[in-house]
Amino acid sequence: MTQNQPSQKTREEASLENCDKEPIHIPGNIQSFAVLIATDEKLKIITHCSANAETIFGQSPDNILGQTLDALLGREIIHTLNNVLSLSTARTQRERVTTLRRGNDSFEIWAHIYNNIPILEFEKIQTEELGKSEAMMLIRSLLGRLGGIDTIQEALSDAVLGLRALSGFDRVLLYKFDRNGDGEIKAEARGPELGSFLGLRFPKWDIPNQARELLLKAPLRTIADIHSKPVPLLSQDPSAPPLNMSLAASRGQSPIHNDYLKNMGVASTMTLSIIVEGRLWGMFAFHHSSTRHIGPSLRGAAELFAQFFSLHMEQRIQTERNSARTKALEHQSVFMDATDTASNISELVKEIAAPFCEIVDADGLALIINEDVVLHGDTPDQETTKLIAEKILPEMAQTIVTTDSLGDYGFDILPIAGALAMIIEQEERYRLLFFRSEASLSVRWAGAPDKEILEDEDGPRLMPRSSFKAYIQQMKGKSQPWESHSLIAAEEIRKTVIKADIALARRLSHQEERQRTIYIAELNHRVRNILALIRSLSRRAKDSSHSLESYAKALEQRISALSAAHDIAVNHIAEGVSINVIFETEIKPYQNTEENRLVMTGETYVLKAGIAPTFALVAHELMTNSVKYGALSSPDGSIHIDVKTKRSGVAITWEERGGPEVISPTRRGFGLGLIETAIPYEMDGDASVEFLKQGLKVSFWLPETFVTPLSDVFKPTEKYKVSIDNQDSTVPHYVIVVEDSMMVAIDMAEMLRSLGVKDVKTCASVAQAKRSMDAKLPDFAILDVNLRDEMSFEVAEYLIQHQIPFCFATGYGSDFRVPEGLSEYKVLTKPVELNTLRSTLKSIYEDHKT
C-alpha cells in the first residue's frame, strides 16, 4: 500500500534532504558511559579506541592503538569473545561477552561485528534501583497482562506504565507512526517533572530517514546525558574511513538531536523501536528531566519487552486485518451469487456497491471500464473520475493508492476530498475507485508545524523546534485518512471483483456453448423431421399420381413449396413470417408478373417462424387445388384472402372467384385432408371447407399464440380420423401416437395400420393424449419426446401407471437420452422405418403380454 503524493521539490524538502544526510552513524565520538574498542577483521590489532579507554585499562589510547587485543584483555576473554562473535546474531545485534574486573570495578563487555569490523563496548556495572530478578518479574507480569487485554489502546497504555515502572524515567511515550511517517503519542506514563505530550502529533521530519533506518537496525538507543562532552574515537590510521557505529550502544549523539531534546526539557533519553512486519510501527521514548542512565541489564529487560510487544502488536494487527477481511468476505458470496444472473461486471458492481462502500468506509464508488464509468453514491462526475484515476493511479500499479487530499492533485471538487484507487484488470483498463467526503479534522501538533530553516555552507537545514506546546491545526479539504482496515477490505474487494469477473466470463462462455449445443440438436431434429415430411409427401404424391411424370411433378411442387416456406422461415426467423408473404410466394409460379390474381385484404399478421412450413404447405395445397380445379384453372379467376382479428386470434378467409362451378368431391385426397386438418392439428386452430357453387371457400382461425406473443388461449383440436386397413392378431388393437408433427403422425398411423393395428389415435399434445387415454386406454403407445413446447414424459408416466407398453420416437438422433427412470424404454429414431417399427412393436408388445 502506498500513499501517493505529488512531487514538488521545495526549499523545505532540500532542508529535509540535508537533514537526511547528517552522518549520524559515523559521529567519530562516543558517549561517556562506555569505552569503545575496534580491531582489525581478524580480532588481533586494536585499530580504534575511545579517548576515555585509560579509565578502564590504565593505559593511554596511544599505547592501546596498535596493541593486540590479546595483550589488552587476556586469553580467557579473547576465547569467550571469539565464541560470541561466531554467533550468527553478532552481525546484526550486540551480544554480551563477559564481565571484566579491574580493581574494585566491574565492566560488562558487549561485542558485535559491523562491516566485518569487530567492535567492543565496555560499560561499568552500577547498582540498579531494580534488581535483575525484579525486572524480569515485572516484564513477566506485563507480558502476562497483554494476553488478557481487549484493545490495542489498552495494551499501549499498560506498556508505557510498565516501562516507566521498570526504567524509572520521568516520562515514557508511545509514538505510533502513520503512513506519512508522522508520529502521534498514543500512550503516555509520566511523573510530575515533565508535562504531557499525550495526543500530540510530531511531524515526520523530527526523525530523519537515516535515523529511522538506525532505529530498525538497532532497536534500543540511549543518550545518557545530552550535556556530557562527547568522547572522541581515536584511530590508529587517521586517514582510514570513520568507524561505522550503527549498532553501537555508546554511539555519540547528533548535536541537532541534542538541541531538540534540550528544547523539550529532556536531559536523558532512551528509545525502543516497535518493529512490526519489518517496519517501524512505533517507538517507546523514555525521557528524563535530569541525567539518567540505566545499565545494560535493565536495558536488556526493556528491550526484551519491546521485542515481545512488537510480536504482540503484529498478532493483534493480523487479527484486525483478518476481521476486516472476514467482513469483506461476507459480501463475497452475495457478489458471486449475482454472477449467475448479471451479464457484465458493471451490473454486478452496481448491485453490491452499497455494502462495498460500507466496508471500506467510503461515501461513493466508481468503476471505470475503458471509457465507461459506473458511479454510486457521492462521487465526482464521470469525466473527473477518469481524470482522477489517470492522475493518482500509476500505470501498472500493483498496489492500492490512496490520498486524503485530492486538492493536492489539483482537483477542486469538495466535498469529495479523498480517494482510494486500484487497478482491477490491466488490459481491459478496469479501475475501481472509492471516494470520501471532506472531514472536519484538527491535528494537535507538538509545536507549530512550520519548519525553521537555517542556511549554512551546506545549504538549507532544519532547525530543531523551539516549542512543543500544543498547536491545533484545522485541516481543510481533507478526508479521514484511509486506515489499514479499509485498505485490507479494498484489497479483498479487488480479489472478489477479479474472481467475479472470471466467473462471469466463464458463465457467459458456458452459456454460449450450451446454446450452440441446443441449436445443433434442434437443427438435427428439424432435418430429421423434414426428411420424414418428404417421405410422407412422396408417398402421398405416389398415391395420387397415375404416371411417373405426374408423380415427379407433384413431388417436385410439394418439395418446392416446402423449400420456399422453409426459406421464408429461415430468412425471417428472427421476426417471423408474414401470412401475405406465404400466399404471395405460393402464387408466383401460377401467375404472370403483370397479373394480380391474388387479392389480399384486412390486416397483416406475422406467423411464428416455427409453424410457417405447415402453413406454407396448406397454402400450397389450396393453391395447387385452385390451379387444378378452381379459380386459378380459369383465365379470369382470382383468389381473395381476408385476414382479420377474431377471438384472440386471427381469422383467414380464402375465397375463390371466377372459376368453374364447384362440385363437391366424392373422395377427400391428401391436399384437402391437409387443408382441413393441418391448422387444427399443428396450431390448435380451426379450418372449415365449403364447396360453394361460385367458388371454394375455406375459413381458418389461428390462435394468437402463433401470430402474437404467447397467451393462454387454448382451443380444442379436431380429431384426426383414419381408416382401418389390415389387422394382425399378434399386434395391439388400439395404439396412440403422440406426435406434434401432423405429417409424421399420419405416416406413423399408416405404418401401424399396415402392420395390422386395428385402431390408431394421433395426439399432438400431452393434454390431447391424456384426454384420449381417459376416454379409452390404448394397448400400446408411441411417444414423440419433444412435443411443440412440452415433453411427453408425463404421458409416459401415465402409461407406466396403467401398465401400458410404449416406446419413444425422437428426431434428436441416437444421442438422445431419456430421463433416469425411463431409460429402460426403447427409443425409435425418426424417420422410423417400417421394419424397425414392426420389430420394436412386436418385441415390446409380446414381452408385455408374457
Partner 1 sequence: MKRVLIMEDNIDLAINWKNAFELNGCKVTISHDGDEASTFLEKEEFDLVVTDMFVPHKRGGLHVLFTLFKMGKKAPPAIAVTGERISSRKNEDVNMFLRQAERLGASSHIQKPFPPAELVVLAQSFWDKEDQQ
Residue 153 in contact with partner 1, rule: CB under 8 A: no
* Span from 158-166, 313-321, 429-437, 602-610 in contact with partner 1 (CB under 8 A): 158-166
Peptide bond into 232 cis (omega under 30): no
Residue placing its CB nearer to partner 1 in the complex, 196 or 515 = 196
d(CA 751, CA 756): 9
Q: Report the C-alpha gap between 540 and 747 in whole angstroms.
A: 10
The CA-CA-CA angle for residues 17, 270, 295, to 5°, reads 140
Q: Minimum Å distance from CB 157 to partner 1? A: 8
If the CB atoms of residues 288 and 830 are measured against partner 1, the closer one turns out to be: 288
Angle between helices 670-683 and 612-629 (to 10 degrees): 150
The minimum distance between CB 159 and partner 1, in angstroms, equals 10
Q: Could you say whether residue 158 binds partner 1 (CB under 8 A)?
A: yes
Query: Helix axis angle, 742-754 relative to 484-544, nearest 10°?
Result: 50
Q: Annotate each residue in 184-213 with x if it binds partner 1 (CB under 8 A) or - if it does not, as one string.
A: -----x-xxx--------------------
177: left (phi over 0), alpha (psi -120 to 50) or beta: beta
Using alpha carbons, select from 412, 409, 183, 322 the residue that is nearest to residue 421. 409
Using CB under 8 A as the criterion, what x/- string covers residues 103-142 for binding partner 1? --------------------------x--------x--xx
Please, what is the minimum distance in Å from the beta carbon of residue 148 to partner 1? 11
Q: Is 219 in the site for partner 1 (CB under 8 A)?
A: no
Q: Report in angstroms how near the CB of residue 318 gets to partner 1 at its nearest.
A: 25
| Binding-site size, partner 1 (CB under 8 A) | 16
Cell 497483554 sits on residue: 146
Residue 252 amino acid letter: G
Q: Judged by CB, which is closer to partner 1: 138, or 822?
A: 138
**Site map (CB under 8 A) of partner 1, residues 621-660, x = contact:** ----------------------------------------
What are the φ/ψ torsions at residue 543 (nearest 5 degrees)? -60, -35
The amino acid present at 848, given as its one-letter code, is: H
Which of 161, 317, 413, 470 is in the footprint of partner 1 by CB under 8 A? 161
Full DSSP string of 186-229: EEEEE-SSS---TT-EE-GGGS-HHHHHHHHHSSEEEES-TTSP
Least Å from the CB of residue 106 to partner 1:
22
Q: Report the nearest approach of partner 1 to the CB of residue 190 (Å).
A: 8
Which part of the chain contacts partner 1 (CB under 8 A), choosing from 34-42, 83-91, 156-164, 454-462? Answer: 156-164
Pairing of strands 606-607, 649-657: unpaired
**For 430-444, b where at least 16 C-beta lie within 10 A, e where not — what string?**
bbbbbbbbbeebebe
In the complex, what is the shortest distance from the CB of residue 356 to partner 1, in angstroms, rounded to a whole number? 37
Instruction: Tell me the closest approach of the beta carbon of residue 161 to partner 1, in angstroms.
Output: 6
Q: Which is nearer to partner 1, 156 or 419 (CB)?
A: 156
- DSSP letter string over 415-429? TEEEEEEEEEETTTT
Shortest distance (Å) from residue 394 CB to partner 1 = 46
The binder of partner 1 chosen from 27, 162, 613, 695 (CB under 8 A)? 162
How far apart CA 500 and CA 190 sit, in angstroms, is 53
Q: Are strands 2-3 and 401-403 parallel, antiparallel or unpaired?
A: parallel
Evaluate whether 751 touches 834 at the Cβ level (below 8 Å). Answer: yes
Residues 680 and 577: their CA atoms lie apart, in Å, by 19
Question: Nearest distance from residue 131's CB to partner 1, in Å?
Answer: 10
SS3 431: strand
189 vs 612, beta carbon nearer partner 1: 189
Measure the CA–CA gap between 116 and 98, rounded to whole angstroms.
21
Instruction: Report if residue 59 touches partner 1, rule: CB under 8 A.
Output: no
Cα distance between residue 374 and residue 384, in whole Å: 13
> Would you say 145 or 429 has its CB closer to partner 1?
145
DSSP 35-47: EEEEE-TTS-BEE
Q: Looking at 124, 145, 204, 842, which residue binds partner 1 (CB under 8 A)?
A: 145
Closer residue to partner 1, CB minimum distance, 145 or 495: 145
| Location of C-alpha cell 565520538 | 29
Q: Which stretch binds partner 1 (CB under 8 A): 37-45, 160-168, 347-355, 756-764?
A: 160-168
Closer to partner 1 by CB, 162 or 671: give it.
Answer: 162
Residue 164 lies near partner 1 (rule: CB under 8 A): yes
Q: Which residues of this chain interact with partner 1, rule CB under 8 A?
A: 129, 138, 141-142, 145, 154, 158, 161-162, 164-165, 168, 189, 191-193
